[in-house]
A and B are shown apart, each in its own frame.
Chain A
Amino acid sequence: MERVYLDYASTTPVDGRVVEAMLPYFTERYGNPTSFYSFGQEAKQAVEEARAKVAELINASPEEIIFTSGGTEACNLAIKGFALKNKKRGKHIVVSKIEHFAVLEACRWLAERGFEVSYLDVDEYGFVSPETLEQAIRGDTILAIVNHANNEIGTIEPIAELAEVAQDRGVAFFSDACISNGSVEIDVARLGVDLLALSAHKMYGPKGVGALYVAKGTRLEALLHGGGQERKLRSGTENVPGIVGFGRAAEIAKKEMRSEAERLRKLRDELIREVLRIPRTRLNGHPERRLPGNANFAFAFIEGEGLILELDFAGISASTGSACSSPTLEPSHVLTAIGLSHAEAHGSLRVTLGRFTTREHVKRLLEVLPRVVKRLRDISPFKESFEDYVEGTEWKGGEHRHV
């Protein structure tokens, strides 16, 4: 049975062309870019070429790209690095409620160390409005943070408008673009952001490499200290094969993005249309202003973990925002932020398509999914609403908080 991988937002396979570009840097051109001799300089050259390619993907200058160990490090460097360097100007940060944990946890870390963090509400689609941002900014605000697109529901934020609001108030703007890089056009000049995080493994590059775009004039405190690599912002010997792979992935994405996005949008819209035929199913996120490969649904009266398990038995990989599949047993903060109740959020399914997804794959999912949803609903006590449970029953909920 061929595995049907529909979780591209989680990670992507490395494109064969990327692997090919990386291979020589493991065994033949393994020099250290810091070394002065030609063997080292060959590796340095490769890193700089990759930097230029990643810069080109987002219309930045190569010297504005800092390579990191991944998206999480890029987010941490952006947030903590900026806050620590600029704390004399103020200690207030505003951040949307639907960020990745790499962003939220970095903010929380700062909040535990004397910074103040305000969380921005989103509307039913997950959009942060410029008005909401405007109202949250105070005299001591130094940094505003909104993801370029949301990794769960795929909503693409109006970053240019938001960054303009921040800029007008003298506040720096950071956007996490780890999920959208390589799948939709990102032009930092047009967006007007000061900091932007990128990740290679979400765009057919290897895991363990990412980058932070740092606009000229934006000052950061380094989080890693040592040999002073990456303009002293990220010490440590460069992950040369990874960086070369990232560069190649960026080059391919730049070239193929437009046609690929169009192909994925078509597949995604077909998928959404068909899945919404299942009764009591809602689409999470915006119908159009979403990442080309992202679909996110909530099926009433069932729980997502069983859904994922059933799909897995059928050879299909997808993900859920259900609490039962998360280590914290909390439902997705993104789904609750867009207004889903906890009970509804438990029944969510995220399907993300990518470069190697075919129409056949989508068909396979559509064959299995309605049957699985029906089976789980047959088991569920809820047939019409969650209300029939609460009324007139012996509710012992309080005793069954997770122990």
Chain B
Amino acid sequence: MYSKILIDHFRNPRNMGRMENPDGVGKVGNPACGDVMYIYIKVGKNEKGEEIIEDIKFETFGCAAAIGTSSMVTELAKGKTLEEAEKISKDDVAEAVGGLPPIKMHCSLLASDGLKAAIADYRKKKGKGDAAEG
């Protein structure tokens, strides 16, 4: 049912756990539906001065597909600029884990949405911060 890549990410999740003082948090899903993802990001700058995802962590309540795709999306996003990270789609995530059974495709959507929500949260907080400074 699941690919080897997905099973590997389920059994050995990358970047798993809670982040202290994250710059942005994305919380998506619904416990009643059986999957919830928290994505935490720390934002830094690259040599060109662009904002990048310096560190990323996740916590997930859900099935193996939900856990595996959360782990994968953190791998895909790490080190990317915010603009690049935002472009990671559900299909990118599904492809990276070696495909998902049709009934589990919503898990990859949750993962990409979780990442987008974390970036949006960071921008919202930053916007407020800038406004306060200004």
User: Could you list 25 A-B pairs, sorted by A, with CB under 8 Å?
Assistant: A303-B35, A303-B63, A305-B64, A309-B7, A313-B11, A322-B63, A325-B63, A327-B103, A329-B103, A342-B34, A346-B31, A378-B16, A379-B13, A381-B61, A382-B61, A386-B31, A389-B31, A396-B27, A396-B28, A399-B28, A400-B29, A400-B35, A400-B113, A403-B105, A403-B109
Nearest first, the 7 closest Cβ-Cβ pairs linking A and B are A397-B30, A324-B63, A381-B59, A343-B31, A305-B63, A342-B32, A381-B38
Taking the complex as formed, is A341 at the interface, i.e. its CB lies under 8 A from any CB of chain B? yes
Number of A-B contacts (CB under 8 A): 107
Which of A341, A380, A397, A398 sits near B60, CB closer than 8 Å?
A380
Please, which residues of chain A bring their CB within 8 A of the CB of B67?
Answer: 306, 379
Please, which residues of chain A bring their CB within 8 A of the CB of B110?
Answer: 400
B20 CB, nearest partner CB in chain A, Å: 14
Taking the complex as formed, is A36 at the interface, i.e. its CB lies under 8 A from any CB of chain B? no
Determine whether the beta carbon of A400 is less than 8 Å from that of B33.
yes
Taking the complex as formed, is A301 at the interface, i.e. its CB lies under 8 A from any CB of chain B? yes
Look across to chain B and name the residue whose beta carbon is closest to the beta carbon of A402.
B106
Look across to chain B and name the residue whose beta carbon is closest to the beta carbon of A304.
B63
CA distance A10 to B11 in the complex (A): 26
Q: Which residues of chain B (56-80) have a CB below 8 Å from chain A?
A: 59-67
Look across to chain B and name the residue whose beta carbon is closest to the beta carbon of A392.
B27
Look across to chain A and name the residue whose beta carbon is closest to the beta carbon of B107.
A324
A136 CB, nearest partner CB in chain B, Å: 28
Taking the complex as formed, is B117 at the interface, i.e. its CB lies under 8 A from any CB of chain A? yes
A316 CB, nearest partner CB in chain B, Å: 15
Taking the complex as formed, is A401 at the interface, i.e. its CB lies under 8 A from any CB of chain B? yes
Taking the complex as formed, is B36 at the interface, i.e. its CB lies under 8 A from any CB of chain A? yes
Chain B: residues with CB nearer than 8 A to chain A? 7, 10-11, 13, 16-18, 26-38, 59-67, 103, 105-106, 109-110, 113, 117, 121
| Given A309-B64, A382-B61, residue A303 in contact with residue B34 (CB < 8 A) | yes
Max chain A C-beta neighbours (<10 A), residue from B32, B34, B103, B106 = B34
Determine whether the beta carbon of B16 is less than 8 Å from that of A389.
no
Determine whether the beta carbon of B35 is less than 8 Å from that of A379.
no
CA distance A273 to B55 in the complex (A): 43
| Given A303-B62, A401-B33, residue A394 in contact with residue B121 (CB < 8 A) | yes
CA distance A303 to B26 in the complex (A): 20
B43 CB, nearest partner CB in chain A, Å: 18
Taking the complex as formed, is A331 at the interface, i.e. its CB lies under 8 A from any CB of chain B? yes
Determine whether the beta carbon of A397 is less than 8 Å from that of B33.
yes
Please, which residues of chain A bring their CB within 8 A of the CB of B10?
Answer: 306, 309
State the interface size on chain A (CB cutoff 8 A). Answer: 36
CA distance A382 to B38 in the complex (A): 10
Determine whether the beta carbon of A379 is less than 8 Å from that of B59.
yes
CA distance A381 to B29 in the complex (A): 12
Determine whether the beta carbon of A400 is less than 8 Å from that of B109.
yes
Taking the complex as formed, is A145 at the interface, i.e. its CB lies under 8 A from any CB of chain B? no
Please, which residues of chain A bring their CB within 8 A of the CB of B60?
Answer: 379-381
Give per-residue flags for A290-322: 1 if the beta carbon is below 8 A from chain B beta carbons, else 0: 000000000001110110010001000000001
Max chain B C-beta neighbours (<10 A), residue from A309, A331, A381, A401 = A381
| Given A303-B35, A400-B35, A400-B113, residue A395 in contact with residue B30 (CB < 8 A) | yes
Which of A313, A378, A394, A401 sits near B27, CB closer than 8 Å?
A394
Determine whether the beta carbon of B34 is less than 8 Å from that of A346.
yes
Please, which residues of chain A bring their CB within 8 A of the CB of B113?
Answer: 396, 399-400
Determine whether the beta carbon of B34 is less than 8 Å from that of A323.
yes
CA distance A133 to B64 in the complex (A): 41
Please, which residues of chain B bring their CB within 8 A of the CB of A381?
Answer: 18, 27, 36-38, 59-61
Taking the complex as formed, is A27 at the interface, i.e. its CB lies under 8 A from any CB of chain B? no
Look across to chain A and name the residue whose beta carbon is closest to the beta carbon of B117.
A394
Which of B29, B62, B63 sits near A396, CB closer than 8 Å?
B29
Determine whether the beta carbon of B34 is less than 8 Å from that of A324.
yes
Taking the complex as formed, is A393 at the interface, i.e. its CB lies under 8 A from any CB of chain B? yes
Please, which residues of chain A bring their CB within 8 A of the CB of B35?
Answer: 303, 324, 400
Please, which residues of chain A bring their CB within 8 A of the CB of B18?
Answer: 381
Look across to chain B and name the residue whose beta carbon is closest to the beta carbon of A345.
B34
CA distance A70 to B22 in the complex (A): 57
| Given A379-B13, A379-B59, residue A342 in contact with residue B64 (CB < 8 A) | no
B115 CB, nearest partner CB in chain A, Å: 13
19 further interface pairs, Cβ-Cβ under 8 Å (given A342-B32, A394-B26, A398-B30): A303-B34, A303-B63, A303-B66, A322-B63, A324-B35, A329-B103, A346-B34, A378-B17, A379-B59, A379-B61, A381-B59, A382-B31, A382-B61, A386-B31, A394-B121, A400-B28, A400-B109, A400-B113, A403-B106
